[in-house]
Structure 1
Amino acid sequence: MPIPVRRTRFMTWRSLATAAVAALMAAFLVPVAAHGAPRESAPVYSYENAIRESVWVDTGLDGDSDGRSDRVAVDIVRPRELARQGRKVPVIMDASPYYSCCGRGNESQVKTYDANGHVVQMPLFYDNYFVPRGYAFVGVDLAGTNRSDGCVDVGGRSDIQSAKAVVDWLNGRARGYTTRTGAATARAGWTNGRTGMIGKSWDGTIANGVAATGVKGLRTVVPISAISSWYDYYFAKGAPLYDSGPDWLSGYVDSPDAQAKCAAVQRKLVDGAPRTGDWTSLWTERDYVKDAAKVKASVFLVHGMQDLNVRTKNFGQWWDALAKHGVERKIWLSQTGHVDPFDFRRAAWVDTLHRWFDHELLGYDNGIDHEPMADIERHPDQWTTSAVWPPRTTRATILRPGAGALPGVGTLGLRGASGTETFTDDPKLSETDWAANVDRPTPDKAGFTTGPLTHDLRISGSSRVTVTATPTTSTAHLSAVLVDLGPDTIRDYAGSGEGIATLADRTCWGASTAGDSSCYQVTEAARTDVDYTVLSRGWADLGDYASDHGVPLTPGTAYTITLDLAATDHVVPKGHRLALIVAGTDKDLIDPPSSTPTLALDLARTSARVPLVGGADAFSRAIAGSTAAPAAAVLDGVRDPRSALRVPGENPLIP
């Protein structure tokens, strides 16, 4: 539970020590038969007097080509009482490039240090909350950032090895040193090696990448708004999503040392990520989805369904790959953009994360593994659950467009029609412009809608839209969006807070010191009233129709391409309509092509593969007069996780 800031008190070492002894006596002297095994770790250890130390771990790489193996800085906070007792503790770890350049969390916190170089402030609440509960918290500076050697390679070998080497060191398989350049070694004899990685955005991406190595000792990862394949951060089937590449991102977080030494790595990032959107070996190295079979850690995934920074294709394909290989998993999906759950569902998040780490790292049988797999935000601060995700009755259902009475205004159903619809790319317009005018014949899009639904219709998972189009120029970009047409109140994901508003009041989550407060500004849902909601979107360069290398188009020739739409979980309510819109450049979300094409859409060879709960039968019930088509196979994402990933014979640590 949160601690109101006005009630916060800094407990003395003596009072904390007394509380710790009392708790330990209670834990170990009361007969087990009376109370059974513990179900929750308690804050019985001193945060103020915790051990704070720094270690530099050898990565085995020389990314900056200075003739020395790169060492990454590892800042550690751990309970002093357990160290004195010789008892080993598990580790919660956040490996980040942002600890000095940009900060973490809603308040952009950075690491701070004392005169001896020991960490004083760790960003976020993880150390304040979990160290008193018997965990160590470890903050790793990725190679090339803050106090680490090496170069930032944006999700590549150096990034991942920066963190993996620390997991290896925690498990006695890598070398650590007490200084950045010295020879005095440091060993992690204080930990049992059981590690959980957590982090948002780039940090969570590193957690995904390390999990995909299958490194021993990594028990769980909690990726928040994280990337699963770096290509899908920068491109969508050849269509560029940003006007910059990984070289810019590397330069943004580089330490001064890295800026001086890493020109060669920067050049590789430029050369390996051509603006054509072609797949290269650089992207293969940064694709963690292909290695999902190696994942042994459990995964607690969190993502905003309106995240237009790390777009939700990243979590959808990762989730499906994890499901295919039976990885133990859990998921939260919010209505926000690129926002941490600490800032959209704070109390529930801290409680759930606490129980998740207790279960995965301490081995407590607290029942979290028997709770629903998914929590989904339906309306601001209104959440539902699913036993598995997507639900077991979800089926990929083919919806087809049909021509309407007006040009560019057609129908959407189970049975399609022949004919064509024509539109001209207009880079000044976006998906919201198209949705606002879906019932009007405008020259910039082709829209297809159902009639008003007679029952709710739930879309759960990843969609695909296959388009056959004939361009008038040698280049063309395509967008496809699914839209819920009807009034609603949603989180204002397009606003500056991406669905949250930050208030002046603070609540506290864990213990504080003079240099590291556990108190954070309160947030609330930022709401907006809408007439429609874009619920899923995807893009492509038509020149990538045949492969992952784009080619010039021949004007007047028809091409077929499939667009991968972002994963989501959305209920289109009774009385609303579902729309599919196909258009050109989606302003601010993809870059325009070099020409301004007009495209003729072949309706007979255009369709949407949509994951509907209940499949075609559910669509038929929701649309009066529809005839059900044969149901497709169950989606990958609903496969059961394999049994708990525990090493036989190991006993859970009970601090």
Structure 2
Amino acid sequence: MEALFERVFVETTVDTDQDGQYDLIAVYIKRPKLDEKVPAVFVANPYMLHCNEDWYDLYDVNTNIQAYPSQNIQREDVTFYQKDPVVCPKKEAEQIVENSPYPEPDPSAYECISDLYGHLLERGYAGVFSGGLGTRGSDGLTMTGSEEEIFAFKSVIDWLNGRARAFRDKTRTVQVLASWCTGSVAMSARSYLGTMCIGVATTGVEGLKTILPEAGISNWYEYYRHNGLTLPAMDWQGDDLDILAKYCFSRALDPNDFASIKPLFEKNQKTLQEGEDRQSGNYNRFWDERNYLQHADRIQASVFVLQGLNDWNVKPDQGIRLYEKLQELGKDRMMLLHQGQHIYTYHLEDSPTLGLIDRWLDYYLKGIDTGIQNESKIYIENNLDQKLWMQEEVWPPKSYKSYRVQGNGNQMIVDDLSQTIYDRKQKNTKAWLDELVLTQNAHSLSFDLETMKEDTRFAGRAKVSFRARIQQPTAILSAMLVEKGKQVRLTPNLDGDENHSFVFKMEEKPSDYFVITRGWMNAQNRLNNYSKEAIDPDTWYTYSFDFVSNDYTIPKGHTLSLILYGMDVDQTQLPFVVTEIEVDTASIVCDCPIE
């Protein structure tokens, strides 16, 4: 289909670079050359126009966990309240036009954008691609996940609906209208881009008819922290929100632009570092601002969650908890869970993904009765047969079975990384995991819960509870649920390319186990995630925490096992302090979503 390409600068409602003018963000439009108005699919992309690869320096995770006296922090102390709106003067444009022609950039500029939008162009949708605050060509500062970032992207939808202004260039003299748009807008894309779909939807902005977040973050705290621990994406240990903000601040790639904003950028970085509070790992107002789940009731758009069950970057609960909240509120929703990692599944063989998306958008943006509203609400790819897609109406689909461990008195976990096979320099995580799961060792406790008499589906969010006495003022507590049994298993690795037809690979030879899920807690956060409690080494305390959700079928004859341990070399900080954790094994209870 013949297309038009344009660039505009949308006027936001924030002034993060503090120059007395509303920040402008660069927006690129590729739309069908038609005589009729068309709906738009909007991608809010903080990675657009490249990133600061040389600035991506991770924190050292080989550090001890800081201990705190009891803090007595209350929930109201960590509640974020909306900031006062910024008021800047507006100058009237000298001219108003209906288009802003611009040469299409090199495709590499569309960082993290899939080929879905070429497909949608052929189906009569405009693609709208926006860089964010602080990206190259735009004004402002990267304040990742913040209210300002969300409001800036919301302004694009306001412009598409005639409620905000856009300009041909940054002089603000020629105003550009979006008269080609019907006003019906969807937001889509993966990861940070999908996160922005969720954040903008919680503003309740008019005209946003639907969002399709793929591996989107619904709660930034649960992305970078967990129950009082610093715990970012697996394989990205040492990452944090201030690093991501610095990485995405592509204004720095333009030396002429960066020079004027550098002092304010450096001040903003310090503000982010103070707010994220790596030392305590507590939930606070900074993270509360970035917790979109608590505003799910404001969402007016329908929501189609797409999430990988083996995604340990944006973990499954980011999508699943959002879906659960929408389900509770009775919002229009759908969810697709696949066996992949952090990928798009439009071209996954035997997947319903692309067909569902086409019918979903046609219904919500064009008003075509595609029958999608009468479809099953949840699609889940089976791990034993990747061609099998299970369908459900509610999540979790399974009831819970409670396992009480048949323990043998009190047993000790000695959390000492130097006594394991792990080498801090080599980072041999697979060897560490094999040792943890397959051997009797001093740094973990392992309990077989049940050997399955038939294929048994584990679908939902498990929970573990136990009593323990800790001989240090703080500790990392971890747990995993493992399926044990020799078998050639499905992997989340691709046989093919996600931009073309692909399937998931099978293992080349049988493996002995599969980690279904994990969970973690800072022992000082036993009551909540925002306040530390002092630990008396002579006192027994009860610890309870959730595992990450999963949908996994355990084969007949295989065993479901629970492992309790301390630091997790795949996820947590790696202290040097040796910590003894005495567990009352008779107190261990594990609730699992199986029947």
TM norm. shorter chain > 0.5 = yes
Counterpart-to-counterpart distance in 2, 1:432 and 1:130: 45
Tell me what 2:23 maps to. Answer: 70
The amino acid that maps onto 2:293 is V
Distance 1:590 1:100, change over 3 A: same
- Structure 1 segment 583-594 matched on structure 2, within 5 A: 583-593=565-575
Tell me what 1:285 maps to. Answer: 289
The amino acid that maps onto 2:365 is L
The match for 1:424 among 406, 414, 428 is 414
Q: Deviations over 1:112-160 (max 9, x none)?
A: xx99554464542233111222111100111111322111111111221
Q: Is the 8 A contact 1:57 1:176 kept in 2?
A: yes
Counterpart-to-counterpart distance in 2, 1:357 and 1:593: 49
Tell me what 1:234 maps to. Answer: 224
**Aligned-pair CA distance for 1:552:** 4.5
Tell me what 1:89 maps to. Answer: 38
The amino acid that maps onto 1:301 is V
Counterpart-to-counterpart distance in 2, 1:604 and 1:572: 26
Distance 1:549 1:486, change over 3 A: same
TM-score normalised by the chain length of structure 2: 0.81
Tell me what 1:452 maps to. Answer: 451
The match for 1:314 among 311, 318, 330 is 318
The amino acid that maps onto 2:443 is D
Q: Are 1:378 and 2:382 matched, yes or no?
A: yes
The match for 2:47 among 86, 94, 98 is 98
Q: Are 1:536 and 2:535 matched, yes or no?
A: no
The amino acid that maps onto 1:402 is Q
Q: Is the 8 A contact 2:48 2:131 kept in 1?
A: yes
Tell me what 1:500 maps to. Answer: 494
Counterpart-to-counterpart distance in 2, 1:238 and 1:334: 29
The match for 1:180 among 170, 174, 190 is 170
The amino acid that maps onto 2:506 is R
- Structure 1 segment 143-292 matched on structure 2, within 5 A: 143-241=133-231, 242-255=237-250, 256=252, 257=257, 260=262, 261-275=264-278, 276-292=280-296
The match for 2:561 among 568, 579, 588 is 579
Q: Is the 8 A contact 1:298 1:327 kept in 2?
A: yes
Aligned-residue Cα RMSD (Å) equals 2.5
TM-score normalised by the chain length of structure 1: 0.74
Distance 1:125 1:365, change over 3 A: same
Q: Deviations over 1:466-519 (max 9, x none)?
A: 2322111112001111111123433434xxxxx22446xx9xxxxxxxxxxxxx
**Aligned-pair CA distance for 1:58:** 1.1
**Aligned-pair CA distance for 1:96:** 0.8
Counterpart-to-counterpart distance in 1, 2:317 and 2:355: 28
**Aligned-pair CA distance for 1:435:** 6.3
- Structure 1 segment 382-397 matched on structure 2, within 5 A: 382-390=387-395, 392=397, 394-397=398-401
Tell me what 2:63 maps to. Answer: none
Q: Deviations over 1:405-455 (max 9, x none)?
A: xxxxxxxxxxxxxx3222111445569845665564311111111342113
Q: Are 1:605 and 2:584 matched, yes or no?
A: no
Counterpart-to-counterpart distance in 1, 2:389 and 2:347: 18
**Aligned-pair CA distance for 1:573:** 2.1
Counterpart-to-counterpart distance in 2, 1:282 and 1:595: 29
Counterpart-to-counterpart distance in 2, 1:480 and 1:145: 40
| Structure 2: 5+ residue stretches without partners | 53-99, 232-236, 423-428
Tell me what 1:651 maps to. Answer: none
Tell me what 2:482 maps to. Answer: 483
- Structure 1 segment 506-521 matched on structure 2, within 5 A: 520=499
Larger radius of gyration: 1
**Aligned-pair CA distance for 1:570:** 1.0
Tell me what 1:303 maps to. Answer: 307
Distance 1:115 1:211, change over 3 A: closer
The range that moved more, 177-186 or 297-306, is 177-186
Q: Is the 8 A contact 2:13 2:152 kept in 1?
A: no
**Aligned-pair CA distance for 1:233:** 0.8
The match for 1:336 among 326, 340, 364 is 340
The amino acid that maps onto 1:608 is C
Counterpart-to-counterpart distance in 2, 1:431 and 1:368: 43
Q: Is the 8 A contact 2:5 2:102 kept in 1?
A: no
Counterpart-to-counterpart distance in 2, 1:74 and 1:115: 12
Q: Is the 8 A contact 1:75 1:139 kept in 2?
A: yes
Q: Deviations over 1:83-135 (max 9, x none)?
A: xx3x22111111111122259xxxxxxxxxx9955446454223311122211
Counterpart-to-counterpart distance in 1, 2:162 and 2:487: 54
Q: Is the 8 A contact 1:345 1:381 kept in 2?
A: no
The amino acid that maps onto 2:523 is L
Tell me what 2:72 maps to. Answer: none
Counterpart-to-counterpart distance in 1, 2:537 and 2:202: 43
Q: Is the 8 A contact 1:225 1:310 kept in 2?
A: yes
Distance 1:127 1:453, change over 3 A: closer
Counterpart-to-counterpart distance in 1, 2:450 and 2:400: 20
Distance 1:437 1:79, change over 3 A: closer
The amino acid that maps onto 2:270 is R
Counterpart-to-counterpart distance in 2, 1:463 and 1:586: 18
**Aligned-pair CA distance for 1:337:** 1.8
**Aligned-pair CA distance for 1:343:** 5.7
Q: Is the 8 A contact 1:204 1:224 kept in 2?
A: yes
Counterpart-to-counterpart distance in 2, 1:125 and 1:501: 19
The amino acid that maps onto 2:39 is P
Q: Is the 8 A contact 2:457 2:552 kept in 1?
A: yes
Counterpart-to-counterpart distance in 2, 1:487 and 1:162: 52
Q: Are 1:80 and 2:33 matched, yes or no?
A: yes
Q: Deviations over 1:626-655 (max 9, x none)?
A: xxxxxxxxxxxxxxxxxxxxxxxxxxxxxx
What secondary structure, in the 3-state scheme, does the structure 1 residue paired with 2:130 have? strand
**Aligned-pair CA distance for 1:277:** 0.3
**Aligned-pair CA distance for 1:559:** 2.3
What secondary structure, in the 3-state scheme, does the structure 1 residue paired with 2:451 have? coil
Tell me what 2:88 maps to. Answer: none
The range that moved more, 591-600 or 139-148, is 591-600
Q: Deviations over 1:350-373 (max 9, x none)?
A: 322212211221122122222222
Q: Is the 8 A contact 1:200 1:226 kept in 2?
A: yes
Tell me what 2:543 maps to. Answer: 561
**Aligned-pair CA distance for 1:71:** 0.8
Distance 1:373 1:231, change over 3 A: same
Count matched residues.
517
What secondary structure, in the 3-state scheme, does the structure 2 residue paired with 1:395 have? coil
**Aligned-pair CA distance for 1:189:** 1.6
The amino acid that maps onto 1:146 is R
What secondary structure, in the 3-state scheme, does the structure 2 residue paired with 1:182 have? coil
The amino acid that maps onto 2:47 is Y
Tell me what 1:108 maps to. Answer: none
Distance 1:214 1:180, change over 3 A: same
Counterpart-to-counterpart distance in 1, 2:526 and 2:295: 26
What secondary structure, in the 3-state scheme, does the structure 1 residue paired with 2:382 have? strand
Counterpart-to-counterpart distance in 2, 1:492 and 1:574: 19
Distance 1:347 1:376, change over 3 A: closer
Q: Deviations over 1:142-193 (max 9, x none)?
A: 1111322111111111221122111111112212112123222122221121
Counterpart-to-counterpart distance in 1, 2:124 and 2:520: 47
Counterpart-to-counterpart distance in 2, 1:292 and 1:252: 29
